[in-house]
Amino acid sequence: MANLRDIRRRIKSVKNTAQITKAMQLVAASKMKKAQDQAMSGRPYADLLNKVLVNLKEQTSEEDHPLLKERDGEKELVIVVTTDKGLCGPLNTNLLRMVSDTEHVTKEAVFVTVGRKGSQALSRMKRELLADFEIKDPAAFLETKQISEFAVEKFLSGEYDRVKVAFTNFINTISQEPMVETLLPIRPIDLGRDKDF
């Protein structure tokens, strides 16, 4: 049977653990708020960009610009954006499940990954990986520009008929939706849409 000193030591240990847990919770809440603000700050830009694309598509024909040209081929380049680390619930799992579904991505698709979890999963699935980009958080414009230039070059050279992006759309802290959207040929997409759940 435990004596009084052991019980007091145990109580002190539990209190110390509770303090550490509370501090970790505060740090996690701060990081979550920062990530949420970062995700929400891009919404107005995405909406404006989408309006520009809609106007561009309405006023320009496919012959006027090579990035608007629809092609009949089935060769797809898919940019998969995942996290570098785990412990984020079904965020990566749902996205990778969608990428492996032939309804969204062809079986012959070739992949470009942003994020370690995506490259690891695609190599386990034995899918062809063309390139892997490492981008730090928060993403700098110059780092993301390399990816867009790479994708545009592959599309304009005729190597691929479509360029798609697979990502997780942040709706709110409770729900994030995996999406696969076509980037090239240019067409309006509905990024950052609000949904009722």
Which residues have a catalytic role annotated? 88
Say how far residue 79 (Cα) sits from the centre of its chain.
Answer: 9
Count, residues in the chain: 197
C-alpha span between 169 and 95 (Å, rounded): 10
Burial 70-91 (b: 16+ CB within 10 A, else e): eeeeeebbbbbbbbeeeeeeeb
The answer to whether 163 touches 77, Cβ cutoff 8 Å, is yes
Secondary structure percentages of the chain, helix, strand, coil, to 5:
45, 15, 35
Residue 24 sits at φ, ψ, to 5 deg, of -65, -40
C-alpha span between 108 and 78 (Å, rounded): 11
Query: Residue 121 is which amino acid?
Result: A
Burial environment of residue 69 by CB neighbours within 10 A (0 to 12, 13 to 18, 19 or more): middle
